[in-house]
A and B are shown apart, each in its own frame.
Chain A
Amino acid sequence: MIEPEKAGAVGSSPLMRAEAGGRLVWLPLAIVIGLAAVAIIIAIAVTPSFLTVDNIRAILRNASIVGIVAVAMTPITLSGNFVSLAISQSAMLAMVSFVAMVGAGWPQPLAILVVIAGLIVVGVLQGIVVASGLNPVITTLAAGAIIYGIVSEITGGGIVRAGDYLISWGSSTLVGIPIQVLVFLIFTILVTILMSRTVTGRETMLVGANRATARISGISFTRVTIVSFAIFSIGLALAGILNGAAFNQSTARSFPNLTIDVIAALLVGGTAIQGGQGSPLRSAGGALLIAVISDMMVLNDFSTGGRLAVQGGVVVVIVVLLDQLRRRRVVGS
């Protein structure tokens, strides 16, 4: 634990840094936007079908589920609690339970509310464990295994169907915009406002930037951690409900790659894994960037392996670049 005097002597109080570093805060975001712009220009140049309404809609739709969850997880990372490794399993839990409830004849608004409430309970339980001091990465790894085990035992590994109760609104559009994209947009705006304009958001940033200083300032790490797990759970519930409504069925194996995709989007967006730096907006940008690159590769007939290799390479290069810039800034200030 750091002595308060030491933290002060270093002159890196997060509040001071936030003011002094104003000109540098935009840098990671600029890099992501710049890379996205370059990717889009290359995409248009080599792929004529890229800039069509249908394709842009497809990109946004592909980015939205990963984006919603990446945005939702950002407060956890900002608060210094790293990432959850139970993302796939939690979203799967939301999807299976939503489809099952609708299939059992529940009214959909009730099912949606119950799924969100249920996911918040599951998330807050993990939040309480993490807030009491247990390692978040290992706690969520274990929680994911438990959730998967329970859901598989209950469903017997089979497919859960909504049956006669069609919930096809998941594939519908509003003035040409897919419903997932709308939810992604609204959710990103709400979480961004929450993190940048409210006391809770600022407290989250401070806890992540310097837990010792935050505690001396009377900010509760426990409360911040629990609130951020609750926000995360809402995003997971939305992702599960949206996919449930789009596919009308689900299994315990749904969302196989979501955990890795979400963490990749968050890191590529420029949110620091150590906490205190980043924003939900950046995570949304990261999800969009990865979706643009993937779409470009699909249009150019890349194989699964080629797509994964390029995606992994892009993630490695961007996180290393962002990390080097961040380090230079901390030493420079």
Chain B
Amino acid sequence: VIGSIFTRIRPYALPLAVLLITWIVIATITPSFRGAGSVYAVLEGFPLVGLVALGLAVTIIAGELDLSVGSMAALAAAIAVLTSPAGLVGSVLIATLVGTALGALQGTLIGQLRINSLVFTIGTLILLRGLTYISTGNAPIMIQNIEMTDPLLDRYWIFSVSSIVALTVFMLVGLFLSYTRWGREIFAIGGARNEAIAAGVPRVRPLTSSFAISAGCASLAGALAATRGGSAAPQNYADLLLSGAAAALLGGISLYGGRGTVFNVALGVAVLTVVATGLAARGSAASLVQLVTGALLLTMIAIEFLAGRLTLRDTVFGAGLRRNSRDPTDTDD
């Protein structure tokens, strides 16, 4: 019994240790970062960086990478502000649904065309950014009826409405990945794509669903941030890719595809938010947060590499390896 518990906990041991250490260090050097207030601050990382990391993690599990999440969040923020007459819930829902639909389209195209998702999403990154500028008229836009966003500013003990929404989405995505057929397909196609397809897993559907989740999460993140702040600017959120990817990988989502859970993402987001809010509370600039994020990210992938010594051939990073091992299912084109 102890053995099976150990096996279950092991994937989380390293990120959990990193979280404890960073929390203790930050709480020691930053007196204001203690108690319920600090837990609240960490949970406030989930609505923006957390949701983006969650979506990115799903694409990484599928063996792909969605570079367009920052632009998607900016576009959804603009849509949420533009549709604000529909009410708080209405505008956030509309923005999230539009984003999810665009993501599903993107994933379907990537699957159908069998194109490398890095290549495809670098194009859509620019395209969606352009659409954001067009929809905002090239300038920041504001919500007219600003009182409607008041519910988002309330605090309930360690929670806010945004963090409750974000944590609910974490739970739903976690259930989807673990307990539904479509969710398990994402793991299958990311872990061993050719073998999975040979065994009957559809090629396109897991990509459609993973990119829909990634875009949907990014859109929800952008829409929540925009409605909470009452405005959207077309140039926002370009840095979300770094913090989102860093959080997912810090938490232990494997770059090699097919492995990781929402708990990994949650741990990674917590680590990143502890560092960011802790340093911000000390008056440090955002650039120092980037510096620490980069260093943590590098350390984490080095540890994963040394621990795993795996190859990346079944993921989007399978350079020079995948193309020459002829794909057994690739005979139909």
A: which residues have CB within 8 A of B? Answer: 1-2, 6-7, 10, 12, 80-83, 129, 132-135, 137-139, 141-146, 148-150, 152-153, 157, 207-213, 252, 260, 263-264, 267, 273-276, 303-313, 315-316, 319-320, 323-324, 327-328, 330-331
Contact = CB atoms under 8 A, between A and B. Distances in A.
B320 A315 contact: no
Nearest to A208: B320
B301 A138 contact: yes
B321 A1 contact: yes
Given A212-B324, A327-B333, A305 B130 contact: yes
Q: Which 6 A-B pairs have the closest CB atoms?
A: A149-B291, A305-B133, A312-B127, A309-B130, A308-B130, A145-B294
The main secondary structure of chain B at its interface with chain A is helix
Nearest to B309: A133
B115 A312 contact: no
A199 B246 CA distance: 38
A10 B326 CA distance: 7
A274 B122 contact: no
Interface stretch (B88-96, B199-207, B214-222, B282-290): B282-290
A267 B294 contact: no
Given A10-B324, A315-B122, A146 B130 contact: no
B52 interface: no
B127 A148 contact: no
Contact of B298 (A12, A132, A142): A142
B18 to A, nearest CB: 15
12 contacts: A82-B317, A137-B65, A145-B294, A148-B291, A149-B292, A149-B294, A211-B319, A273-B116, A304-B138, A305-B131, A312-B124, A316-B120
B324 A145 contact: no
A136 to B, nearest CB: 8
B192 interface: no
A80 B287 CA distance: 31
Contacts of A157: 285, 287
A3 B285 CA distance: 51
A308 B323 CA distance: 32
Contact of A307 (B123, B130, B309): B130
A306 B65 CA distance: 26
Nearest to A310: B130
Nearest to A210: B324
The main secondary structure of chain A at its interface with chain B is helix
B290 A330 contact: no
A7 B120 contact: no
Interface string B115-142: 1101110111111111111111010000
Given A135-B317, A316-B123, A12 B324 contact: yes
B288 A153 contact: yes
B115 A323 contact: yes
A309 B127 contact: yes
Contacts of B135: 305
Contact of B287 (A81, A129, A137, A153): A153
Interface residues of B, number: 63
Contact of B321 (A135, A152, A211, A312): A211
Given A7-B325, A146-B291, A316-B127, 12 more contacts: A2-B325, A134-B302, A135-B301, A142-B246, A149-B291, A152-B287, A157-B285, A208-B320, A212-B321, A267-B123, A306-B133, A324-B113
A267 B288 contact: no
Contact of A149 (B130, B133, B290): B290
Contacts of B293: 142, 145
Nearest to A1: B311
Nearest to B114: A327
A82 B118 contact: yes
Centre residue among A149, A150, A276 by max chain B CB count within 10 A: A149
B245 interface: yes
Centre residue among B123, B127, B309 by max chain A CB count within 10 A: B123
Interface string B63-77: 001000000000000
Contacts of B319: 80-82, 208, 211, 273-275
A213 B324 CA distance: 10
Given A146-B291, A149-B287, A331-B330, A320 B115 contact: yes
B176 interface: no
B313 to A, nearest CB: 8
Contacts of B246: 141-142, 145
Centre residue among B136, B255, B325 by max chain A CB count within 10 A: B325
Contacts of B290: 145-146, 148-149, 152
Contacts of B14: none
A320 B123 CA distance: 10
B50 interface: no
B305 A134 contact: yes
B295 A142 contact: yes
B317 A319 contact: no
B134 A306 contact: yes
Contacts of B294: 141-146, 149
Contact of A319 (B123, B136, B242, B305): B123
Contacts of B128: 312
Given A80-B320, A134-B305, A274-B322, A308 B133 contact: yes
Contacts of A12: 324, 326
Contacts of A208: 319-320
